[in-house]
Structure 1
Amino acid sequence: METTEMRGGAASRGLRFLVSTWLLMLLVTSETNGVTWNWNQWWTYDGISGTDFWGLINPDWSLCSKGRRQSPIDIDPARLLYDPNLRLLHIDKHRVSGLLENSGHSVVFTLDGGKVPLNVTGGPLSYRYQLTEAHLRYGNADLLGSEHTINGKAFPAEIQLFGFNSQLYANFSQALDKAYGIVGISLLLQIGERSNPALSQLTAGVDQIKYVGNTYTVHHLSVHDLLPDTSYYMTYEGSTTMPACHETVTWVISNKPIYITKQQLFSLRQLTQAEDANKGGAPLANNFRPPQKLHHRPVRTNIDFSNAGGSCPSMHREAYYKANTWTHS
Structure 2
Amino acid sequence: MGSAARLSAPGALVLWAALGAAGPPFWGLVNAAWSLCAVGKRQSPVDVELKRVLYDPFLPPLRLSTGGEKVQLIHFNQELYGNLSAASRGPNGLAILSLFVNTSTQVAGSSNPFLSRLLNRDTITRISYKNDAYFLQDLSLELLFPESFGFITYQGSLSTPPCSETVTWILIDRALNITSLQMHSLRLLSQNPPSQIFQSLSGNGRPLQPLAHRALRGNRDPRHPERRCRGPNYRLHVDGAPHGR
TM over 0.5: yes
State the TM-score bracket (shorter-chain normalisation).
0.7 to 0.9
Partner of 1:284: 201
**In structure 2, distance between residues paired with 1:274 and 1:304:** 44
1:60 to 18, 33, 38: 33
1:185 aligns with 2:101: no
Q: 1:97 touches 1:218 (CA, 8 Å); kept in 2?
A: no
CA deviation after TM superposition for structure 1 residue 183, in Å: 0.8
Partner of 2:22: 49
**In structure 1, distance between residues paired with 2:137 and 2:204:** 26
Q: 1:95 touches 1:222 (CA, 8 Å); kept in 2?
A: no
Partner of 1:71: 44
Deviation beyond 4 Å, 4+ runs, structure 1 = none
Matched ranges for 1:1-329 at <5 A: 36-39=11-14, 42-92=15-65, 96-98=68-70, 111=71, 133=72, 161-192=73-104, 193=106, 194-204=110-120, 205-276=123-194, 279-307=196-224, 326-328=225-227
Partner of 2:235: none
Change (3 A) 1:175 1:202: farther
Q: 2:46 touches 2:211 (CA, 8 Å); kept in 1?
A: yes
SS at the partner of 1:281?
Answer: coil
Q: What letter matches 1:79 in structure 2? A: R
CA deviation after TM superposition for structure 1 residue 165, in Å: 0.8
Q: 1:228 touches 1:254 (CA, 8 Å); kept in 2?
A: no
CA deviation after TM superposition for structure 1 residue 302, in Å: 1.2
Unaligned runs of 5+ in 2: 1-6, 229-245
SS at the partner of 1:286?
Answer: coil
Partner of 1:16: none
After superposition, give the CA deviation of every residue in 1:251-279 in whole Å (9 maximum; x if it has no partner): 11111101112222111111123321x53
Q: What letter matches 1:257 in structure 2? A: A
**In structure 1, distance between residues paired with 2:137 and 2:27:** 35
CA deviation after TM superposition for structure 1 residue 67, in Å: 0.6
Q: What letter matches 1:249 in structure 2? A: V
Unaligned runs of 5+ in 1: 1-26, 99-110, 112-132, 134-160, 308-325
| Greater RCO, CA 8 A, separation 6+ | 2
Q: 2:34 touches 2:162 (CA, 8 Å); kept in 1?
A: yes
Q: 2:77 touches 2:87 (CA, 8 Å); kept in 1?
A: yes
Change (3 A) 1:274 1:183: closer
**In structure 1, distance between residues paired with 2:218 and 2:191:** 37
Q: What letter matches 1:52 in structure 2? A: P
CA deviation after TM superposition for structure 1 residue 95, in Å: 6.7
- TM-score, normalised via structure 2 length: 0.80
Change (3 A) 1:175 1:78: same
SS at the partner of 1:48?
Answer: helix
CA deviation after TM superposition for structure 1 residue 328, in Å: 4.9
SS at the partner of 1:198?
Answer: helix
Identical-residue share of aligned pairs (%):
37
Change (3 A) 1:213 1:187: same
Q: What letter matches 1:163 in structure 2? A: H
Q: What letter matches 1:248 in structure 2? A: T
SS at the partner of 2:115?
Answer: helix
Q: 2:149 touches 2:174 (CA, 8 Å); kept in 1?
A: no
Change (3 A) 1:228 1:59: same
